[in-house]
Structure 1
Amino acid sequence: MDIDFSEINYLKDPKWQDLHADYEQFLLSMTGPTVIDISGSDETKFRVFTTLLHGNEPSGLIAIHRYLTEVLTQKPPCTNMRFIICSVEAAASKPLFSKRFVDGGMDLNRFFGKQCSFDCNDGQRGYCQRAFLIEQAIREVNPEMVIDLHNTASPTPTFAISAVITTETLALASLFCQTLVLSDLTMGSIIEQSFHCPFITIECGGSQDEQAHEIAFAGISKVAQCQNIAYMQPEKTVEVMHRPLRLQLKDNIALSYAQHDEGYAGVTLKNNIECFNFGSAHQDEMLGWLDGNGLDNLTLVDKSGKNVLHDYFYARENQLVCRYNLRLFKATTHKDTATNDCLFYVVKLPYAYMGQNALC
């Protein structure tokens, strides 16, 4: 697919004809990344939502379309709203919402904060350019908050991610969920960028989960009607999880899923690995199996670039085992996502935390 990376479209106060009958038709009407501006009661302030950085994560678009067609017609937002729909081409590839990025393409959410002429090669330059245009569309309105809406590949509870913890980020997170992950990972994602305002990512839940769409819609509606972001009180207590790391396969390592050890090459994860998203993994608990290369199949890199895999896991014969009590995020049985992104995110938990039993 030929993509015009220099294009970004603007739509102000769209009419029902612009929004079409449903979110799928609305998606197909777009020719590229699209900025939708909505006039609020206070037109001196903007609140920004981004979504569809990955084409297979539809909750944000579904929720935005529902807000524009159901809520906005009844009541304007307290401030101007800017919605930025990012990877339109990937989302519109058939079947809809099935591709993280277009065939032969790259993950847009790895190109933020880069200088196209210095940090990117010819094949990457278009994605650098689009990331820059999205950043520019955020910065040009000097927003008082930014929220980036995502889905996980597999069912998981909703959680927020932020690069900093403040009263504002905790309050915004509480509109969607009860867990906020403090992340200092550096991989070119939008959440690493500073827009001089509270900024969180919301992982709404599984991409096929109707509840994830509902959570995104309810959160947008609450943000739109909040009178003052700076003085907003948290709706609920938010638990903070500190500095997750990404467990990844090394290059060219095979990945399988199974209920029992089948002797596959590379790494085999338990076929119910997703259920760890809803609980915790205990010290000495087995998560899968390894071939003769053992832990050398895997990498777990900290902020300094050091592989700290042995601080979190060990091999018990050919089993992959937790060295400590761990919380897993975004564990999935979607092989493409696990192979190209990561197997899951992981943080260490204090022993006392494990009163909450794992579900696996």
Structure 2
Amino acid sequence: MMLHDVSWPNDEDLRRGLVTWLDTLPGASWLTVPGQDSNRHRVVVTLLHGNEPSGVKALWHFVQNPPECAVTTHFCLANVKAARYDKPFTTRHFDDKPDMNRCFGKTGEDDSYGVAAEIMARITDLKPEAVVDLHNTSGSSPSFSVSIVDDEKHQQIASLFTERMLCTSVRLGALMEQTTDQSPIVTVECGGAADHAAHEVAQNGLHHFLTAENIFVNHGDFRPLDLLYHPVRVQLKKGLELCYHDRKVDDADLTLPLDIDRHNFGCMAADSMIGWLGEKGLDAMITNDGGGGHPIYALFYEHDGELRLKHASKLFMITTKHHIALSDCLFYMVVD
């Protein structure tokens, strides 16, 4: 077994603090809290990425202020080893291991695939009425949710946490891609890992998720959702050079401004300058919308070495973390 059942933290754990408690865990961990209705279940997954702490910080808040759970609720802390490595909450995943949130519905020799499979086995066995997977964005950002299904159940789960939902066709091996009608799964990106507001999004949303007797009826906890469809994933081709600077870097295939993440979820006009291209021009970049549409030349153009938008667009999940931009993506975008 790679997923360990652990007890709810005790008073001594509380005194020692969250990071010390994480150090006591045997690895990927599963906690169960009885609810008023023991026949119904909900699941909260967090720490699939070790550098995204809002979900586990919200859990720690509820350890100190135990809520009255409406149904039996399960918490999964997935990549505990990465979360506590070196300076806590700075390691997304180890360099020699795959991204755990790219391992669902896939097989591989690494333990990360085994943990993902065991998480899904638990969910399949429990048949929870709802699953949330709590994350942080790699740059400063407002909160949003992501789903592969645009229906009322997924929207209602999302609206407990945030005002925005992205409906995506991109498939990467994320937990939310395993959603079913019986057990809908929604990803919640609470905001930037260093943003205090992101921890509040996780905490407030979880309070509603844990305590609402029925999360699928309209009540005051819901927020109206801004729905965004068919986000496009924008990447630099493997092996190419990315820089962040306030001017074009001659040897780079792409240079992005140091503060590009300030555009997260802002509306950018057509012809807006995104950055600077190198000798390869637009051929340095690739896109993925899950359906083979939106090629790079349909979204951007080059003008005097500058990378510019062809159409008014919203960009999000923009990161200024070099290693994440290269290993994951530069950003996502939705064309207005």
Instruction: With the length of structure 2 as denominator, give the TM-score of the two structures.
Output: 0.95
Alignment equivalent of 2:84, drawn from 92, 95, 109: 92
The whole-number CA distance in structure 1 between the counterparts of 2:213 and 2:23 is 34
The whole-number CA distance in structure 1 between the counterparts of 2:40 and 2:6 is 18
Whichever residue aligns with residue 182 of structure 1, its letter is C
What do the CA deviations read for 1:13-58 (whole angstroms, capped 9, x no partner)?
5533455532211211112000000001110111110000001001
Q: Does 1:54 align with 2:49?
A: yes
The whole-number CA distance in structure 2 between the counterparts of 1:230 and 1:206 is 28
Whichever residue aligns with residue 237 of structure 1, its letter is P
* Structure-2 change in CA distance of 1:183 and 1:19 (3 Å): farther
| Kept in 2: contact 1:294–1:315 (CA 8 A) | yes
Identity %: 32
Alignment equivalent of 2:307, drawn from 320, 338, 347: 320
* Structure-2 change in CA distance of 1:94 and 1:63 (3 Å): same
Name the residue aligned to 2:123.
138
Name the residue aligned to 2:178.
193
1:37-48 correspondence runs (5 A): 37-48=32-43
1:9-158 correspondence runs (5 A): 9-17=4-12, 21-70=16-65, 72=66, 75-114=67-106, 116=107, 120=108, 122=109, 125-158=110-143
The 3-state SS of whatever aligns with 1:80 is: strand
Name the residue aligned to 2:200.
214
The whole-number CA distance in structure 1 between the counterparts of 2:304 and 2:280 is 11
Q: Which moved more, 1:286-295 or 1:162-171?
A: 162-171
CA drift at 1:76: 2.1
What do the CA deviations read for 1:91-112 (whole angstroms, capped 9, x no partner)?
1110111111023222011110
Whichever residue aligns with residue 200 of structure 2, its letter is E
CA drift at 1:310: 1.1
| Kept in 2: contact 1:20–1:26 (CA 8 A) | no
CA drift at 1:179: 0.6
Q: Which runs of 5+ in 1 are unaligned?
A: 1-5, 350-360
The 3-state SS of whatever aligns with 1:161 is: strand
Whichever residue aligns with residue 190 of structure 1, its letter is L
Whichever residue aligns with residue 63 of structure 1, its letter is A
Whichever residue aligns with residue 288 of structure 1, its letter is G
Q: Does 1:169 align with 2:161?
A: no
Q: Does 1:346 align with 2:333?
A: yes
| Kept in 1: contact 2:159–2:225 (CA 8 A) | yes
CA drift at 1:251: 1.0
Aligned residues: 334
CA drift at 1:306: 5.8
The whole-number CA distance in structure 1 between the counterparts of 2:52 and 2:8 is 24
The 3-state SS of whatever aligns with 1:230 is: coil
The whole-number CA distance in structure 2 between the counterparts of 1:193 and 1:7 is 20
* Structure-2 change in CA distance of 1:240 and 1:343 (3 Å): same
Alignment equivalent of 1:225, drawn from 183, 204, 211: 211
* Structure-2 change in CA distance of 1:169 and 1:307 (3 Å): closer
Name the residue aligned to 1:252.
239
Alignment equivalent of 1:301, drawn from 241, 264, 288: 288
Whichever residue aligns with residue 97 of structure 1, its letter is F
What do the CA deviations read for 1:161-207 (whole angstroms, capped 9, x no partner)?
11112222222222211110001111111111124323211100111
1:253-272 correspondence runs (5 A): 253-272=240-259
CA drift at 1:257: 1.1
Q: Does 1:274 align with 2:228?
A: no
CA drift at 1:295: 0.6
Instruction: With the length of structure 1 as denominator, give the TM-score of the two structures.
Output: 0.89
What do the CA deviations read for 1:255-304 (whole angstroms, capped 9, x no partner)?
00121223232100122210110412211111000111101110012323
Q: Which moved more, 1:10-19 or 1:215-224?
A: 10-19
The whole-number CA distance in structure 2 between the counterparts of 1:136 and 1:296 is 42
The 3-state SS of whatever aligns with 2:264 is: helix
Whichever residue aligns with residue 43 of structure 1, its letter is S
Name the residue aligned to 2:190.
204
The whole-number CA distance in structure 2 between the counterparts of 1:69 and 1:131 is 29
| Kept in 2: contact 1:9–1:35 (CA 8 A) | yes
